[in-house]
Chain A
Amino acid sequence: MIRWLLLLFGGLLLGGIVHLGTVMMVPRTATQDAYARLSPVAPVNTVAQIEAPQPDKARLTYMDPAFALAICRYDLSGGSLKFSVPVSQAYTSVTFYSRYDVAYYAINDRAAGRRVIELDLMTPEQRAQLPEDEDVTAADRLIVETPTVTGLIAVRALAPEPGLMAMARASLTAAKCNLAK
């Protein structure tokens, strides 16, 4: 009897490890995560406009229908990235997601404080290679470090009323993301 109880206890302990291991593995094995869903419509290092969600077809789950959405799927293996978007009339935000859809950085138009949100995206290695004197000029250039070489930049512009959606979309068409020369 004691023996079986011990085995049960050991099994539960082992089960705890299995549980933690599988939970940690889910992001790396998910085939329908946001990155995978966006890959077919978002070319690398280009801004792609994503269609507004409809009940029967939506590119992602839990999309906010009041927002126009554009995606830049980045790959920094060829160098760092320059990103810019003019702010829309109501509200514009830029959110950076790692390859596993973790939002590691987000900024809105008011925090950026200008008419155009401009950011440089680089890996920690690329940032370390920046020449010293360029760090000085970096004061007026926001630098964001990505934890993964690939990932997503989501640009969202709010349409406070449905009639303003065209205007929100138009502000996103001016968004740019290119590899720095």
Chain B
Amino acid sequence: MRLLFGSLFMLAIAALAGLGATWLSLTRHTAFGGLTIGAWTAWPKAGTGDADPYARANIARTGQLPVGLGDGVTFMAQEDDNGTPLDGRCTVTLSGTTPAARFWTLTLYDLRGNLVANTLNRYGFTSQEIVRDADGQFTITVTSRAVSGNWLPTGGDGRYRLLLRLYDTPVGVATRAGREVPMPRVEAKDCP
């Protein structure tokens, strides 16, 4: 009897710990080899045949086709530089420059990976659409209220994430965070 209870206890722990860890790793978007610069994180290896099991599971579960490494690299931000979650009610400013790339695109998604509806039908910017300062730097304002300059509208409420995709870029698996990879600063203000 003690043996039976003992085995059941052990199996219950195994199921709970094993499935719990799987669920956590899939919902938290974990993968190895992340390259974090400021608020931005990229997983260059997830776009290659060497993608680790966590990256593979995440790709299959979300239903996306990741950008291949010979094509480009995707950086994701869901918090600002101070760790404040990006929220549609805040005013979020992106400023600075991007790493070298032939083109880049910036796109706003909800946490499920869908575009966010807005009256302007604007879901992001490409590197050619952006209005820049004289020194090549740019500022993008992500907020629900119309502003002048590069305005990226949010849906008004709810968390979101920003994806910065660099196409035809030297940034890749061998890249280390440092001065040669300048990413835009992300600052959230006026959060409720």
Interface of B is mostly: mixed
Pair B71/A23 contact, Cβ less than 8 Å = no
Q: Does B15 contact A (CB under 8 A)?
A: yes
Q: Does B188 contact A (CB under 8 A)?
A: no
**Nearest B-chain residue to A25, judged by Cβ:** B57
Pair B49/A158 contact, Cβ less than 8 Å = no
**Interface-centre pick from A30, A67, A103 (highest chain B CB count, 10 A):** A103
A160–B71 alpha-carbon span in the complex (Å): 16
Neighbouring B residues of A63 by C-beta, 8 Å: 64
Neighbouring A residues of B126 by C-beta, 8 Å: 66, 158-161
Chain A min CB distance to B84 (Å): 23
A159–B125 alpha-carbon span in the complex (Å): 11
**Interface-centre pick from B26, B70, B165 (highest chain A CB count, 10 A):** B70
Neighbouring A residues of B62 by C-beta, 8 Å: 61-62
| B→A interface (CB under 8 Å) | 6, 9-19, 21-22, 25-26, 47-49, 51, 53-54, 56-57, 59-72, 102-103, 105, 107, 109, 112-117, 123-124, 126-129, 163, 165, 167-168
| A→B interface (CB under 8 Å) | 3-4, 7-8, 10-24, 26-27, 30, 32-34, 36-37, 53-56, 58, 60-67, 90-91, 93, 95-98, 100-108, 110-111, 147, 152, 154, 156, 158-161
